[in-house]
Chain A
Amino acid sequence: MVELYRQQFRTTIAVQLQYRAALVIWLIGQVLGPLVTLSVWTAVSASGGGQAGGYTPADFAAYYIVLMIVNQLTFTWIMFELEYRVRHGSMSMALLRPVHPIHSDIADNVAFKLLTFPLILVAAAVIALGFHPAFHFSAWSTVAFLPAVFLAFLVRFLMEWTLALAAFWTTRVSAVNQIYFVVSLFLSGQIAPLSLLPRGVQAAGMILPFRWTVGFPVELLLGKLSFPQALEGMAAQVAWLGLCLLLLRLVWRAGVRTYGAVGA
């Protein structure tokens, strides 16, 4: 198993270094989103007397810089990838292998992130120069951030991998994906920190998994949460992790049974 991961690591890095232009395009997309929203909220808090919903421009800058980093650490592209594999029939090959295909996907994802993490840090530094963020780290929340972000990655990966299996049943995955991305745009804290959204949306955010995959680690690191809230969040992450594992197992089994290979 270790050998498998190591090989996948090497392959991914070699492949990505071949397509450097694609890396630049990916980086622009990854940075521009938070930058645009940050600019909007900076303008809002400037016209609202220096703050909006308890966030000053410096707070918004810190929030979106950390959000960009957490998003980079937890994002996956599996929902597009699996659809492509099913449509082109390369899923068949993955099924013939003696190990579950999720392992090579995890290795692929982690390798890509190791390669691109320095780029995101540079982008974060550039944004910090322009927007002057104010960070208020505390020791315990910084320590707690590490397991929180790791759990966030696991939950998001398993959830998106399970959702991506929708490709086994329908060819119209793009509609499914779009709805998922819109919901996560609001509930994961990307359009605004969750505390700025209407109460009903916040309540939905507490129940659904989206907040726990992005917004929660960000708020934790920035010291917006109390110690009990942090524990509560991690409990929610662990609960979702268990549920996702269970769902993944069930959906995968049913999906493989439905899968009729297309093409070669």
Chain B
Amino acid sequence: MDKLLQSKKYILFFVAPAFLVFAVFGLFPIIYNFVLSLYRTDLMSEGTFVGLKNYSNLLKDKIFIGSVKNNLLMVAGSLLAHLPIALLLASIIFNKVKGSRFFQSIFFLPSVVCGVAVGLTWSFIYNSEFGMVNAILDFLNLPGLKHQWLSDEKTVIFAIIIVVMWQYVGYHMVIQLAAMKNIDPTLYEAASSDGASKWRQFKDITLPLIKPILKVDAILIITGSLKYFDLIFVMTGGGPNHASEVLSTYMYYQGFRTMKYGYASAIGNILLLLCAIAILTCNLIFGKKKEED
């Protein structure tokens, strides 16, 4: 029996196909991307080795710096919506409201919808002639605040961040809710009979016990906001005048519009690096707090 389960033949049969596909088209490209980032290449001809030139050019590239800034703004906006606001919604639903399943399903819905469709829908909402945002401002008697939201360099990135918040708040709420449901209910019963307020219960029971999942969730939020592509691509294409450019759209622009593939690879690597930094930082922050307890 055990011998059969140790047979190399079967291990290969089951694991090798997936591993091969994954290694060739998932892991190897990561390494190759690093090599490509050291070249100036149009992928057709040989390409010239330029060392770290692509990276040093990136640091001088104002649009690239702007993209990083926009990505950091998105990280900040997402953290705001997807931690405090999602946590508020999760704890409301967790406290046994009627129709909790219904609300949960509705809130989660936008994260299932195609990003391109969401982006187009919101470009209608922001439309300066028939859009909802300006109509609401008119209704509130604040016509002075009306904007061409997506074609104004000052408002465009914030307009997009609102959409990101809208699309994924329910997703993160569900993750946090799942964590809350794993908590032993007798803890709350004991706390209630000791007269602890709901807020104290949240602060002293819920929050510490969902911390491990909050850490994973924070990683998802940050790496997610570094990776958004479809929303921005379809709403503004990075414009006007690169004002809403983020790393992913700028990488697309440099690689597949101006054919600077080496430069695009370098941007891809910076994205990878930022994701890695985010993961390490989250581990550090959440790990440390554990020691204090």
The answer to whether A and B belong to the same complex is: no
- List residues of chain A with CB under 8 Å of any chain B CB: none
- List residues of chain B with CB under 8 Å of any chain A CB: none
